[in-house]
Chain A
């Protein structure tokens, strides 16, 4: 069986470690899939979804808010600041964050707004909601 070794590390813990058939990551230049014998690559990650197809065929989904991936000798190392499984996503909180970010981006908002930060926050919230809904409809 040709497998790759996958490891996800965050500042507080090792979030995942195991063997997999494939990993799909949200690369900054587009989402891409990593299979056995992938060329060495270092890529930054966007806000999006990581999919891991484990060796027994089980599909794992995680929400990420940016990070870096390094692939070397069939070892995939994902460095991310925050990662959540669909079950871990707090839907209510994500919806609140979405509403808050939208409000901040609306033109009526008087105060000085950090647009980039608000947009990033909106994207994160939308990503979380999308992934949690995907899980529910499964």
Chain B
């Protein structure tokens, strides 16, 4: 009688293990599919970055060349003043399941606020612009002043979003509602690597000469004049900068998701293997019990 109970028990665990294997296999299929989707999107996102590069690079180049010639320039966007109010643009993702991607940006942003603008934040002088749903979710629940929240922008990332955001920031800066604008985002370094970046957006940084200045020093004609060209280039330089930051973050997000999903698929594989071994052992134990039962039954008959 003891044997029957034991056998029942074995059958129950076998069924349980089988069910778990099926469950893990299903999850594995999902993570595998998500990895593949991310890989395909990542390729497109990388293309976008490459396509955006000539534009932003050329604008930066022309601008830095002009700025090195034109000394007496008056543009409110260059004005450096004592920082009493600051705006921070925080770029996160819209969706989760991408490892520590969002937490890294959020932590960096909080650290920046805590170490540089703690008092300003207490006084409500730190304005946050959250691009991406995850950042909106996080910061709106905490003690921060959110000036702009843009969830869901990455499903259909458009240049006009970048230019609208920049227009808003420019207006705030010119009206002296903020004295400095920062962007915190993940830059795409490689598929498995993201680089956290905190860049100063406004006032416009005098662009370092990382682009080779025209060594020949060509005598250009400037129409209508240098200052006008600079003033028309600066906003577009800012737009391009914001745009590339967003593209960068999106590519980084997809890379992070791809890696996370790849790891999840691997983990599922390991889990299935160990469950399978456990299943085989249990099955063997059940068979052994069964044989034991028959043999001892036969022995009992013989002895009777």
> Which residues of A are in contact with B by a Cβ distance under 8 Å?
9-14, 27-29, 39-44, 66-68, 70, 72, 77, 79, 81-82
A11 near B232 (CB under 8 angstroms)?
no
What are the residues of chain B within 8 A of A70 when measuring CB–CB? 58, 62, 220
Given contacts A42-B222, A43-B223, A68-B233, 17 further A-B pairs with CB under 8 A are A9-B55, A9-B58, A11-B240, A12-B159, A14-B51, A28-B224, A42-B62, A42-B66, A43-B222, A44-B229, A68-B59, A70-B58, A70-B220, A79-B58, A79-B62, A81-B159, A81-B239
A27 near B62 (CB under 8 angstroms)?
no
What are the residues of chain A within 8 A of B48 when measuring CB–CB? 12
What are the residues of chain B within 8 A of A13 when measuring CB–CB? 51
Question: Known contacts being A11-B159, A12-B48, A79-B55, is A42 close to B220, with CB within 8 Å?
Answer: yes
What are the residues of chain B within 8 A of A42 when measuring CB–CB? 62, 66, 220-223, 229
Interface residues on B, range: 20 to 34
The 6 residue pairs across chains A and B that have the minimum distance between CB atoms: A43-B223, A41-B221, A29-B224, A44-B232, A9-B55, A29-B223
A12 to B239 alpha-carbon distance, docked (Å): 12
Q: Which of A13, A44, A66, A82 has the most CB of B within 10 A?
A: A44
Question: Known contacts being A42-B229, A44-B229, A79-B55, is A27 close to B239, with CB within 8 Å?
Answer: no
Specify which of B66, B228, B240 is in contact with A28 (CB 8 Å cutoff). B228
What are the residues of chain B within 8 A of A14 when measuring CB–CB? 51, 54
A39 to B233 alpha-carbon distance, docked (Å): 21
Output the least CB separation between B141 and chain A (Å): 33
Output the least CB separation between A119 and chain B (Å): 15
A44 near B223 (CB under 8 angstroms)?
yes
A12 near B221 (CB under 8 angstroms)?
no
Is B283 engaged at the interface, CB distance under 8 Å to the other chain? Answer: no
Overall SS of chain A's interface: strand
Output the least CB separation between B245 and chain A (Å): 12
A29 to B221 alpha-carbon distance, docked (Å): 12
Is B243 engaged at the interface, CB distance under 8 Å to the other chain? Answer: yes
A18 to B228 alpha-carbon distance, docked (Å): 29
B229 near A68 (CB under 8 angstroms)?
yes
Output the least CB separation between B177 and chain A (Å): 16
Q: How many CB-defined contacts (below 8 Å) exist between A and B?
A: 76
Interface string of B69-80 (1 = CB under 8 A from A): 000000000000
Interface string of B223-257 (1 = CB under 8 A from A): 11000110011001001100100000000000000
B232 near A68 (CB under 8 angstroms)?
yes
What are the residues of chain A within 8 A of B58 when measuring CB–CB? 9, 70, 77, 79
Question: Known contacts being A44-B228, A79-B55, is A28 close to B223, with CB within 8 Å?
Answer: yes
A79 to B221 alpha-carbon distance, docked (Å): 17
A90 to B77 alpha-carbon distance, docked (Å): 34
A11 to B48 alpha-carbon distance, docked (Å): 9
A42 to B222 alpha-carbon distance, docked (Å): 5
A64 to B74 alpha-carbon distance, docked (Å): 27
Specify which of B51, B54, B218, B239 is in contact with A72 (CB 8 Å cutoff). B218
Q: Name 18 A/B residue pairs within 8 A (Cβ), A-sorted.
A: A9-B58, A11-B243, A12-B52, A12-B159, A28-B224, A28-B228, A29-B224, A40-B221, A41-B222, A42-B223, A44-B232, A66-B232, A68-B59, A68-B236, A79-B58, A81-B163, A81-B236, A82-B159
Of residues 52 through 94 on chain B, the ones whose CB sits less than 8 Å from some CB of chain A are 52, 54-56, 58-59, 62, 66
What are the residues of chain B within 8 A of A29 when measuring CB–CB? 223-224
What are the residues of chain A within 8 A of B51 when measuring CB–CB? 12-14
A11 near B223 (CB under 8 angstroms)?
no
A72 to B58 alpha-carbon distance, docked (Å): 13
A70 to B27 alpha-carbon distance, docked (Å): 55
Specify which of A11, A28, A44, A79 is in contact with B52 (CB 8 Å cutoff). A11
What are the residues of chain A within 8 A of B55 when measuring CB–CB? 9-11, 79
A27 to B51 alpha-carbon distance, docked (Å): 25
